[in-house]
């Protein structure tokens, strides 16, 4: 009799567990459907398409070409120019963005005068449309009628007035500057949240031991912030590797491919040359690069490298 009762109780627990799991899956199902429709399916579609030749003008894909799209894309010298520009963009933008964000976050955490207003003003660019930012800065940096060159000429600094978006040696640097201005608030908020979660006892102990504000920041606060800074760096790198909107709006990859990046090259392959297979191949290679860089950075964060 006792064994029957125990078996019945076990059966009821199993049924309760099944109902609980089914309920959980039902709650997750709408989000899973949306995620599958807008992320999983396009990703798989792009991956498969990268092995076919297709102009996008016919209902059916063209012939299977294997790795032909990949080899064709890599044989294009513009592809390697785009990779080089993208790497330069990331290597310059990320230290500037995270470095300035760290300085600003420390200043705001120390509750400088008007810190609430400054926090809001510094975060405003983050929520602005990239298209709007690109259009506005495209006008500001225009060579002949742009506000920046007009101002420099008016104050007697005409020698500093450059072809900000028309000179191949300057254009990418101009876009990097705009991108830093646009994204610095995002990294600042992440680091500021990390600062506000630090143990104040440790910071105060360093002050008691004779450390001034700068020494306390450099030798105590920043080492404690290492995981937070690493997260901000990872997000900045991923964002930099995916850059498209700002460059496409401001220069469309020019002049002379000096601002071409894989995402603008992908667009050119797909909608200028009607080479959807090659565009998909570039997308797959860029996705692989982003995943590899992200994995490597996360290993550094966890201390698995070095």
Cα separation, 78 vs 74, whole angstroms: 9
> Could you write out the three-class secondary structure of 123-184?
HHHHHCCHHHHHHHHHHHCCCCCCHHHHHHHHCCCHHHCCCCCCCCCCHHHHHHHHHHHHHH
pLDDT at position 191: 92
DSSP the chain: -HHHHHHHHHHHHHHHHHHHHHHHHHHHHHHHHHHIIIIIHHHHHHHHHTTB---SSSSS---B-TTHHHHHHHHSHHHHHHHHHHHHHHHHHHHHHHHHHHHHHHHHHTT-TTHHHHHHHHHHHHHS-HHHHHHHHHHHT-TTT-HHHHHHHHTT-GGG---TTT-TTTHHHHHHHHHHHHHHHHHHHHHHHHHHTS-HHHHHHHHHTT--HHHHIIIIIHHHTHHHHHHHHHHHHHHHHT--HHHHHHTTT-STTTT--HHHHHHHHHHTS--HHHHHHHHHHHHHHHHHHHHHHHHHHTT---
Q: pLDDT digit string (tens) for 185-242?
A: 999 999 998 988 887 777 777 777 777 777 777 778 888 888 899 889 999 999 999 9
Q: pLDDT digit string (tens) for 238-265?
A: 999 999 999 999 999 989 999 999 999 9
Q: pLDDT digit string (tens) for 144-153?
A: 889 999 999 9
pLDDT at position 9: 58
Half-sphere exposure of 115 (CA within 13 A, CB side): 13
**pLDDT exceeds 60 at position 127:** yes
pLDDT at position 277: 94
The rounded percent of the chain whose pLDDT value lies above 90 is 60
Q: In sequence order, what are the residues at sequence separation of 6 or more whose Cβ sits closer than 8 angstroms to the Cβ of residue 180?
A: 93, 96, 97, 100
Most confident of 8-22, 50-64, 163-177: 163-177
How is domain 76-301 classified at the CATH fold level? Answer: MetI-like fold (1.10.3720)
Judge whether 247 and 175 are in contact, CB under 8 Å.
yes
Residue extents of the structural domains in the chain: 76-301
pLDDT at position 40: 93
**pLDDT exceeds 80 at position 157:** yes
Pairwise pLDDT comparison (58 vs 68), residue with the higher score: 68
Q: Which residue has the tokens 């490597």?
A: 296
pLDDT at position 1: 53
Output the average pLDDT for the chain.
Answer: 88
Closest CA to 252 of 93, 87, 138: 138
pLDDT at position 197: 84
pLDDT at position 26: 85
Pairwise pLDDT comparison (276 vs 9), residue with the higher score: 276
Q: Please give the structure tokens belonging to residue 271.
A: 């909608």
Cα separation, 264 vs 286, whole angstroms: 12
Q: In sequence order, what are the residues at sequence separation of 6 or more whose Cβ sits closer than 8 angstroms to the Cβ of residue 162?
A: 143, 149, 170
**pLDDT exceeds 70 at position 8:** no
**pLDDT exceeds 60 at position 173:** yes
Mean pLDDT for 140-162 is 91
């Amino acid at each position: 009799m006792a064994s029957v009762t125990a078996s019945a109780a076990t059966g009821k627990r199993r049924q309760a567990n099944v109902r609980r799991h089914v309920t959980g899956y039902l709650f997750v199902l709408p989000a899973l459907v949306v995620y599958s429709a807008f992320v999983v399916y396009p990703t798989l579609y792009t991956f498969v398409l990268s092995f076919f030749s297709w102009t996008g003008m016919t209902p059916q894909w063209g012939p299977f070409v294997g790795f032909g799209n990949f080899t064709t894309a890599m044989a294009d010298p513009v592809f390697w120019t785009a990779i080089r520009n993208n790497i330069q963009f990331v290597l310059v933008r990320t230290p500037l963005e995270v470095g300035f964000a760290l300085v600003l976050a420390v200043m705001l955490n120390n509750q400088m005068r008007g810190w609430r207003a400054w926090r809001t003003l510094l975060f405003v660019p983050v929520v602005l449309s990239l298209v709007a930012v690109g259009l506005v800065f495209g006008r500001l940096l225009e060579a002949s009628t742009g506000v920046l060159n007009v101002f420099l000429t008016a104050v007697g600094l005409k020698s500093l007035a450059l072809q900000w978006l028309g000179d191949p040696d300057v254009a990418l640097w101009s876009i990097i500057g705009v991108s830093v201005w646009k994204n610095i608030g995002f990294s600042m908020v992440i680091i500021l949240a990390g600062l506000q979660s630090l143990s104040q006892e440790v910071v105060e102990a360093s002050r008691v031991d004779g450390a001034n504000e700068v020494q306390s920041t450099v030798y105590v606060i920043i080492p404690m912030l290492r995981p937070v800074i690493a997260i901000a760096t990872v997000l900045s790198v991923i964002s930099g590797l995916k850059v498209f909107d700002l460059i496409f709006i401001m220069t469309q990859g020019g002049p002379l491919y000096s601002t071409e990046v894989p995402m603008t090259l992908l667009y050119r392959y797909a909608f200028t040359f009607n080479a959807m297979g090659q565009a998909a191949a570039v997308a797959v290679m860029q996705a692989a690069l982003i995943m590899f860089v992200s994995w490597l950075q996360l290993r550094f964060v966890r201390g698995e490298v070095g």
